[in-house]
């Protein structure tokens, strides 16, 4: 069973690109991160609200692996936790390889179900020129690889703190590869 740790936590009560680092965050079942602009049962990302505000919010929590920050630094991008809009920065878990519906048990009681990949947008380039291309890649078949983190929904309430353990619970087979949400 794969395990990781929480390195950083962030939230913002407004629709800013960067989120403010926190000592802890409170996850609320079916809604998301308490006090975060993306909290809610229906979509909160402005581009999705414009298309259909009644869509379910499959993007309540955004997670990025710290190993991406390391990779980006090797390409000349100095990125701090929360600067790409993530709520939870992890270490030790290959988030991008997890299948859809994976459960992450974090801390004492929090549970997140993975819904899909973050679809990087041009705001990355507004933050740092060339960053969007740096978080996109192609596999050996030419298929697009999105590396800007994963999204999830809150299954169980819980306060998460820096240093908390993350336990990965794989879904039943067959596994479904993550796609953008």
Domain parsing of the chain, residue ranges: 3-169
Cα distance between residue 175 and residue 163, in whole Å: 29
For 82-140, write each residue's pLDDT tens digit: 999 999 999 999 999 999 999 999 999 999 999 999 988 888 888 999 999 999 999 89
Cα distance between residue 158 and residue 175, in whole Å: 27
Cα distance between residue 89 and residue 148, in whole Å: 11
Report pTM.
0.95
Quick one: average pLDDT of 48-52?
A: 81
**Whether residue 167 has pLDDT greater than 70:** yes
For 58-86, write each residue's pLDDT tens digit: 999 999 999 999 999 999 999 999 999 99
Task: Mark 108-140 as b/e (b = at least 16 C-beta within 10 Å).
Answer: eebbbbbbbbbebeeebeebbeebbebbeeeee
Q: What is the CA radius of gyration of the chain?
A: 15
CATH 2.40.33.20 for the 3-169 domain, yes or no:
yes
Cα distance between residue 4 and residue 162, in whole Å: 12
For 13-44, write each residue's pLDDT tens digit: 998 889 999 999 999 999 999 999 999 999 88
Q: Token pair of 128, please?
A: 């740092």
Q: How far apart are the first and last CA of the chain?
A: 26
């Amino acid at each position: 069973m794969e395990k990781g740790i929480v390195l950083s936590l962030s939230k913002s009560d407004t629709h800013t690109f960067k989120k403010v680092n926190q000592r802890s965050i409170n996850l609320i079942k079916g809604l998301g991160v308490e006090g975060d602009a993306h909290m809610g049962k229906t979509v909160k990302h402005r581009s999705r609200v414009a298309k259909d505000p009644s869509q379910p919010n499959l993007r309540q929590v955004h997670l990025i692996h710290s190993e991406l920050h390391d990779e980006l630094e090797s390409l000349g991008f100095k990125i701090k936790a929360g600067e790409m809009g993530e709520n939870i920065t992890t270490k030790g878990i290959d988030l991008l390889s997890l299948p859809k519906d994976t459960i992450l048990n974090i801390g004492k009681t929090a549970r997140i179900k993975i819904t899909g990949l973050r679809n990087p947008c041009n705001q990355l380039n507004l933050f740092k020129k060339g960053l969007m291309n740096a978080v996109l890649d192609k596999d050996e078949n030419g298929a697009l690889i999105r590396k800007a983190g994963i999204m999830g929904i809150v299954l169980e309430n819980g306060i998460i703190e820096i240093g908390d353990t993350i336990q990965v619970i794989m879904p039943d087979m067959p596994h479904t590869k993550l796609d953008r949400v």
